[in-house]
Amino acid sequence: MLVRTHTARASLLALLIILLMNQSHAFATTPDSSANRLIHPRANQHHGSRINPVRTPGPSIDPYIRPDMIRRMEQMQPIILAAAHRHNRSSLSGMGDQEFAAVLVTILYNENFGWVEDDIAPLRVFTPLYQDLQRRANESPLGSNFSVWPANLRPSVALEILRHELPIPGARMIRVPVQVVGSQINPDAYTSQEDLYAAITAEISQDDMAVEYLAANLERGLYRAEFECTPVSWRTLAAWHNQGVISPQAIQSNTTAWDYVRRATAYLPAARELVRWPSHSGGMRMARM
């Protein structure tokens, strides 16, 4: 996975602020977006990822969804519901498709910002910029494996999904029947990992494909839960996407996963509201913007 430390993140943000202060005209032309946090390499390379806040989980955050993210999610509502229908294995999840869709939306909202932006709201202006930096790094000739928004998924994870792979305890892989509908990528057609990751980055940067890959990753979480004989809830799937852990015991003992789930709780009502609205109604509007 990707390791994110408070010090490294703060240093990178400070560097970015200095650079942008020297080029302040860039702010006037930078579009608002749902971009999130800068990510650093982690040791385990198997799942979706978030920042590691080395702090005790406390009360849930006051949720914020930037206006352009609200508009994008309203537009994507039918795409989200369709992806939930394709990837929800109700016999494994115990959920209806609408509930599974709410999990997708909760994760997308939770990935909108990180805990640094929660604590220091003015830093939210920088999130579109370092999201773009990570995407550009992945697509550069040198290549990289940074997470890509809006789902905050790394190319290496997306590649596992395309190859129908599921990591299980013991550093092993098994094959699972997960398909990515709409993908134009044949991993075997690329001669270098850099080119492959660049192509995957371009695909998972698209809103509709980000939703499809996220839903496919959560489907993998259902198969992992079946393998571990673990009951499934929305918390299970959120922790899977974040840290690749499934059982309640593993979630509780993993500070990052626990804080991620605690934070996601704040977005759950808005997520459920979005998927309840008919797609032609224009979706929901979150009062706090």
Quote the pLDDT of residue 67.
Answer: 86
**Residue 52 CA: distances (Å) to CA of 39, 270, 279:** 10, 24, 35
Residue entry with tokens 């044949």: 186
Higher pLDDT, residue 241 or 124: 241
Q: pLDDT by residue (tens digit) across 32-89?
A: 333 332 222 233 344 444 444 444 444 467 888 888 889 999 999 999 999 999 999 9
Instruction: Report, as an integer, the average pLDDT of 182-193.
Output: 96
The share of the chain scoring above pLDDT 90, in percent, equals 56
Helix crossing, 255-264 with 234-243: angle to 10°?
A: 130
Answer left, alpha or beta for residue 171, where phi above 0 means left and psi between -120 and 50 means alpha: left
pLDDT surpassing 90 at residue 144: no
Q: Rounded CA gap, 107 and 102, in Å?
A: 9
pLDDT surpassing 90 at residue 284: no
DSSP-derived letter for residue 31 is P
pLDDT surpassing 70 at residue 27: no
Q: pLDDT by residue (tens digit) across 248-262?
A: 999 999 999 999 999
Whole-number mean pLDDT of the chain?
Answer: 77
Q: pLDDT by residue (tens digit) across 89-136?
A: 999 999 999 999 999 999 999 988 655 555 555 555 555 555 555 656
Q: Rounded CA gap, 214 and 160, in Å?
A: 12
Q: Which of 111, 140, 144, 116 is nearest to 35 (CA)?
A: 111
Quote the pLDDT of residue 127.
Answer: 55
List Cβ neighbours of 128 (8 Å cut-off, separation of 6 or more): 30, 31, 32, 33, 35
Range in 4-13, 153-162, 197-206 the model is least confident about: 4-13
CB 4 within 8 A of CB 49: yes
Phi, psi of 86 (to 5 degrees): -70, -40
DSSP-derived letter for residue 3 is -
Instruction: Report, as an integer, the average pLDDT of 275-283.
Output: 64
Query: Looking at the DSSP assignment, which residues form a beta bridge with residue 165?
Result: 175
Quote the pLDDT of residue 139.
Answer: 64
